[in-house]
Chains A and B, each alone.
Chain A
């Protein structure tokens, strides 16, 4: 029973990592950059939802939608102001900009909401305990896993069947050839940031529903772990981000339960190192093809 409890908790935590990892992996696949500010977009999303629930008296669903809208706008703005001017620049310059953007967002949050942790309010997501046989779990756990499944299915349909989704695949594979098709590369990259950031808002709400402490650094650790998950699964691969995220969550919870609570986080990164030694492109990553 404890084993099952841990497994379900791991799947739930992993689902949050997976949703965050999608943002990293899509942006990497399409814009070929690591957006280290992504974790902090999660934090902003959680704060907006918090304000909606606590101060503005919005119904939970509306508060989440507002958070998604704000994050979408934020993601597109970050891309347009900070990353787009660096499109032709060295990748290190972009990476450093992204790290700077991460600190900027944390400090803006610090200015607006202060350093004191806020306690995320209870909503329909986490206000009940579900019992199934001998298992009892928070509704947030179940809700998180279900949301992850829905996100996975919808995103796959979007990528494989819509015009924008196909344009994203083209830009990801060959930016120049995509342009020759008449695809507007900048607009496609913007759309990718928009989707990733909207997902970040969802992840922020889910994260704070399970772990209800909200502060300006709330997004950094989950952000780094989700990035790890994306690399673990094969960065650039959407199913890889899903698999990597879920596995990472399960490993973390099992590590904490059976090996050492203190070393739980270190274990996560140890697993990453082992996987990358054996399979450098990650679990589902494809080796880079030489162009003939």
Chain B
């Protein structure tokens, strides 16, 4: 236990069970994210990582268990009520609004904020992602994959989340872009954003994270400091291909 972890967690997931119809997708997982941490959730395809994030974000309803953000229960509220409480999900597959411009996408990210605050945040995003500034008026569907991922992350940040959840930000990107995305994750962390990161690229994820959880078929099978898991034999065998 480090010092940070003795404070109350920013996010606490408690015995969460999620079903898709009759399929028991998440089988009672618990996890915590503390302020200023990067926590990663790794595991194979179909382990339930995205389902976990979607449930925390309120897109799916858990059948049992709770999600608390900063001590308040948010499970069951629905996504649109959770966003203003300071939690933002950058979803798998980016899901930017293809037919809107880059600027409009960013503005939609700030949907729940008062209009007066938006220009300053836009400026902040354009400074952090200069490429988006260049493409400001372009239709988002015409951006390259890497640019779309940056847009999706910037859009998620426009709500000023206390906790940013990233679902597979490196998916489908060339290695050089993957590195760029992870650099951005590190930068975001340095500016005080708390991050819960879901990745199939376990190597990269463990390298940037403080702590990690390993998921297998709906349960958490291992957890601990990211550096330890990075050198753990079982993790290496299963996820790092060595």
Contacts and interface: CB of A to CB of B under 8 A. Distances in A.
A292 interface: yes
A176 B80 CA distance: 10
A174 B79 contact: no
Contacts, number: 66
A287 interface: no
Contacts of A182: 79-80, 83-84, 111-112, 159
Nearest to A188: B80
A221 interface: no
B104 A179 contact: no
Contacts of B104: 166
Interface string A176-200: 1111111111000000000000000
Contact of A180 (B88, B93, B98, B99): B88
Contacts of A289: 98
B50 to A, nearest CB: 12
B125 to A, nearest CB: 15
Contacts of A167: 108, 111
A131 interface: no
Nearest to A173: B97
Interface string B184-204: 000000000000000000000
A205 B226 CA distance: 68
Given A169-B99, A183-B80, A176 B111 contact: no
A169 B140 CA distance: 14
B91 interface: yes
Interface of B: 57-59, 78-80, 83-84, 88-89, 91, 93, 95-100, 104, 107-109, 111-112, 155-156, 159, 172
- The list of the 6 closest CB pairs from A to B, nearest first, reads A182-B112, A182-B83, A179-B79, A177-B95, A181-B111, A182-B111
Interface of A: 163, 166-167, 169-170, 173-174, 176-185, 289, 291-292
